[in-house]
Chain A
Amino acid sequence: MAQAHVPPIATPLADRHQALGARMVEFAGWLMPVQYAGILEEHRAVRTRAGLFDLSHMGELYVDGADAAKALGYALVTDPASLKVGRAHYSMICFPEGGVLDDLIVYRLAEERFMVVANASNAAAVSDALVERFAGFRVVLDDRSLATALVAIQGPASLQVLTPLTDVAIADLHYYAIAEGSVAGVPALVARTGYTGEDGFEVFVDVAAAGRVWDALMEAGRSAEVVPIGLGARDTLRLEAGMPLYGNELGPDTTPYEAGLGRVVKLGKEGDFVGRAALERALADGPRKKLVGLAVRGRGIARHGYELFAGGCRTGAITSGTLSPTLGEPIAMGYAAPSEAEPGTILEVGIRDQRVPAEVVVLPFYRRAT
Chain B
Amino acid sequence: MAEDLRYTKEHEWVRIEGDLAIVGITDYAAHQLGDIVFVELPEIGRVLTQFAAVGVIESVKAVSDLFAPISGEVVETNAELGARPELVNGDPFGQGWMLRIRIVDKSQLDGLLDQAAYQDLTREG
Q: How far is the CA of A230 from the CA of B61 in the complex (A)?
A: 12
Within 8 Å of chain A (Cβ to Cβ): is B42?
A: no
Within 8 Å of chain B (Cβ to Cβ): is A177?
A: no
Within 8 Å of chain A (Cβ to Cβ): is B104?
A: no
What residues make up the interface of B, taking CB atoms closer than 8 Å to A? Answer: 34-35, 37-38, 40, 56, 58, 60-61, 63, 89
Q: How far is the CA of A323 from the CA of B39 in the complex (A)?
A: 13
Cβ contact of A323, chosen from B40, B56, B60, B89, cutoff 8 A: B60
What residues make up the interface of A, taking CB atoms closer than 8 Å to B? Answer: 34-35, 38-41, 232, 236, 299-301, 303, 322-323, 325, 352
CB-defined contacts of A39 to chain B, threshold 8 Å? 34-35, 60-61
Q: How far is the CA of A41 from the CA of B38 in the complex (A)?
A: 17
Q: Across the interface, name the chain B residue whose C-beta is closest to A41.
A: B35
CB-defined contacts of A41 to chain B, threshold 8 Å? 35
* Residues of B contacting A: mostly: strand
Cβ contact of B37, chosen from A34, A303, A323, cutoff 8 A: A323
B58→A300 contact, CB < 8 A: yes
Instruction: Give the 4 A-B CB pairs with smallest separation, nearest first.
Output: A323-B37, A40-B35, A39-B60, A38-B35
B40→A35 contact, CB < 8 A: no
CB distance from B65 to the nearest CB of A (A): 10
B60→A303 contact, CB < 8 A: no
B56→A322 contact, CB < 8 A: no
Q: How far is the CA of A38 from the CA of B60 in the complex (A)?
A: 10
15 A-B pairs within 8 Å (CB atoms) are namely: A35-B34, A35-B61, A38-B34, A38-B89, A40-B60, A41-B35, A236-B60, A300-B58, A301-B37, A301-B58, A301-B63, A303-B63, A323-B58, A323-B60, A352-B56
Q: How far is the CA of A69 from the CA of B7 in the complex (A)?
A: 63
